[in-house]
Structure 1
Amino acid sequence: MKSSIKKLEKSIIELTIEESKENIAKYRKKVLNDLRKNADIKGFRKGSHIPDEVILKNYSEERISTLMIDEALNKLYGEALKENKILPIAQGEVKEIKSQDPLIVVMHIEVFPEVSIDDKYKSIKLKKNTFKVEEKEVLDALDEIQKKFTHFHEAENDYEAKTGDKLFINTTGYDVSGNKLENTSMENYPLVLGSNVLVPGFEDGLVGKKVNDKVKLNITFPKDYHNDSFKGKETIFDVEILKIEKSHKPEFTPEFIKDLRGKELDFEGFKALIREELLETKETNARMLDENALMDELMKISKVDFGDSMLKNQTSRVYEEIKQNIIQSGAKVNDYISSLGLTENDYIEKNIKPIAIKRLTSELILHKLAEIEKTTVTQEEATQEIEKIMSRFGSEDVVKRLKELYTPGTKYYEELSQRIVYRKLIDSFFN
C-alpha cells in the first residue's frame, strides 16, 4: 500500500491510497468467499463450494467491486492514517475512485484545525468590567420571591382592594366621543394590582375599590406606547369588579427558606445568600463581557480554518441550548421562530450559525493559547472549584453525587479543568 496527502482548505486533508493488483486480487477473493458462504443459489447447498463463475452469474460485477473496495478500505484506511499521522475528527469521505485494479482512491478527511496567533497577543492588556450589588437589588429579589409564592383567598364584599391583591374584572374602553375601541374588552380578567401589565394608571385607579363597584377610568396612553393606534390617546375605561382575592405573601421563616434552598438559614442568612447569588450572576455577566472583548482582539490577529463537520456539530449544540432557553421561558420553539418571520433553516443560518462560528473560533484560539503558554490546572485549583460548586447545594445526596461526577478522569472533571485553564488564560490579559 502507498499513500500520499495534500492539505486543502477548511482543515481538509486529501488522502490518496494506492494498492497493487496482486493485493487487490486477495480482497476480491475474500469477497467471493464471503458471498459463497451465504449464497442461496438453486442447485447448491448453502455454504457448499460454489464455483466462482456461478457466484459471478448471480451477483453483479458492480456489487462485487463495491464490496471489494469496502473490504480493502476497511484495512487500508487505518494504515494510511497511521502512516501519515492523521487524527481525523470525522469519518473520511471517498471523493473519487480513480482506478479499481490497481486500486487508487482519493479521500477527504477533516482534521483538527490549525490555529495561528500573531505574537502581538502578548501585548494585549484590557480593563475588567466592574460590578457590585446594591441593597435595593437584594430587596427587589426578595420581593420577587415573595410574589412568586404569594397565594390568594377570596375577600369579603366590603373589603377594599390593595396593591398586590388579585381582581377579576370586566372592562371595555371608549374614546372621548363614547365610541367603543377595538381590542379593549375583557371579561372575568384576572389582574394583580401592582403587576403593571396594563396601561399606566389603570391598576392604580382600582386601589381602594370593592366587589361590585363600577368604575370609570380616564386613561391617557403613553406617547411611546407599543401600539401605534393608541399612542397618546385619551380613553375612558368602564370597569366592573367581579371578585377580589386578598394576597398573602409568605414570610421568610427558616422552614420556608429550607424549602426554597435546602439550607437552614434565618432571614439575615438568607438575605446574605441572595446577595451572593446576585453577585455571582453579575460576575458571570461581567466575565462574559470581558471574554467577548478579549476574543474580539484575539480574532483580529488569529487565523482559524475549521471544517464543516466541526461547525455543524457546534451549530447543533448552540441550537439545542437556545431551544432549551426558549422552552424554559414558556414559549414553543416553532411559535417563537414563526414570530420572527423565519423558517427553522433560516433561523439557524441567520441567528444560530454566527454564534456557533464565534464560539468555535474562540474555543480553538484559547486551546492554542493554552498550548503555547503551557497553561495547566493543579489538583488544588480543581478541588477548590469543585468545593465551590458543591457549596451551592444543601442536600447530602446531591453533594455525594457531585463528588462522584467530578472524580479525576471523568468527563465532568476534564471539562471543569479545561474551563479553569481557559479562565486563567483570559484573566492573564486583564489588569
Structure 2
Amino acid sequence: MQVTETLNEGLKRGYKIVVPAADLDAKVNEKLVEAQPEVEMKGFRKGKVPMALLKKQFGQRLMGEAMQEAVDGAMSKHFEDSGDRPAMQPDVKMTNEDWKEGDDVEIEMSYEALPEIPEVDLKKIKLEKLVVKAGDADIEEALGSLAETAQDFKDRKKGSKAKDGDQVVIDFLGKVDGEAFDGGAAEDYPLVLGSASFIPGFEEQLVGAKAGDDVEVKVSFPAEYGAENLAGKDAVFECKVKEVKEPVAAELDDELAKKFGAEDLAALKGQISERLEAEFSGAARAVMKRGLLDALDKLVDFDLPPSLLDAEAKQIAHQLWHEENPDVEGHDHPEVEPTDEHVKLAGRRVRLGLLLAELGQKAEIEVSDAEMTQAVMNQARQYPGQERQFFEFVQQNPQMRQQIQAPLFEDKVIDYVFELAEVEEREVSKDDLQKAVEALEDE
C-alpha cells in the first residue's frame, strides 16, 4: 500500500492512497477461506464447496468489503504513524471511477489536522473565588417567600368587595342554552380570583362581589375545550357568593416548617441556609470559571482548523439571530452570515474547547457511566410521562449522547484545573455576587 502526501499547508492535509490489486485479492481469499467451512451449496457437502466456485459466487460482494476494510486500515495506519488527529471526518473519495477487478484502487483523502496544543503551567494561574455566607436577612427573606406560598385565607370585613387574589367561596350552576350540564355545578367551592383555574373570563366577573351576592357569570368555552359538547359554546353560571376571604401569609413557626418536611423552624432555617449557600456557591463557580477561561485565553495561541472555526461562527450567528427574532421558530429563513465579532467569539470558543479537551485527555479524565446516566435522568424529567422514550432516544442517538456528555467532561476538566491553580477566596455580599453574575451575562 502506497501513501503519498499531496497537500501540507497549515493544518490542511492531503494524501493519495494506492491499494494494490494483489492486496485486495488476498483479502478476498482470506474471507473466503474463513467462510468456507460454513457454506452450503447444492451438490456439495457443507464446507466442501471449491474455492473457485465460492469466488465466482461471492467474490464481487466480498471485494466491496475488502476495499472498504483496506481503505479504513490505510487511514488508521496513517493516523497512527503520523500522529495527526483530524478535526472533522476526513473527506475520502475513489479517483479511478473506471475501476475493474484486477486494478489497483486509488484513493484521495483530505482533512484538517488538529493543532499541537502548547503546554500550560496550570499552577501559575491565579484565580479569585467569591464567597457569600447566607445571612439572617437572607434566611428570613426566603422564609417569607415560603410563607407566601403556604398562604391561608381569613374572612374579610362584612360587606367587603372581593379583590384579585382573594378567595371567594361560591355555589355555582352552569347552563348552556338554558340547560344544566354535567360537571357544571358545585357547592362551597373555594376559588382564588386571578388563579386562572376556571375558564377565561369567569374569575374576573366575580371581582367586586360581596358575600351574599348573586352573580350571573357569562363566558364562552374555548374552541379547543376538552368536552366536545361544550367546546365553543356560550354558558351562563349562576353563582352565589357565600364568603369573601383575603390572603394571609402563614405564621413563621414549627407548623410551617412541618409543611415543608422539616422537624421544626430551626431545622427549616438550616435547610434554607444550606440551599442558599449552594446557590451562592454555584454562582461563584460560574464567575471563577469565566476568570479561568479568560486566563487560559491569554496564555495560549495556536492555529485553528478553518472548518471548526467556520462551523462555530455560523452556529453563533444563527443562535444570536434567533434570540433577536424570537417569533421565528423554524429554520426556513435567509442564511445568516457571521460577522467579524462572531468569528472572533468562535475563535475563542474553539481554542478553549481544544485546550480543555487536551488537558482532560492528558489527565485521563472521563465521564463515568453513572454520571452519564444521572445526567440523562435529569434531562428526562423535563418530559413527564415520556422518560422511557427519552432514554431510548438518547441510547440510539450518538450525537445526543455527545451533547449531554460534553458539558459533563468540561466541568470535570474545569474542576481539575481549579485544584491545580492558585485560588484566593474573597468574602463578598450577595449583591456583589449578583453584580458579578450580571457582568457575565452582559459580555
- TM-score w.r.t. length of structure 2: 0.47
- TM-score w.r.t. length of structure 1: 0.48
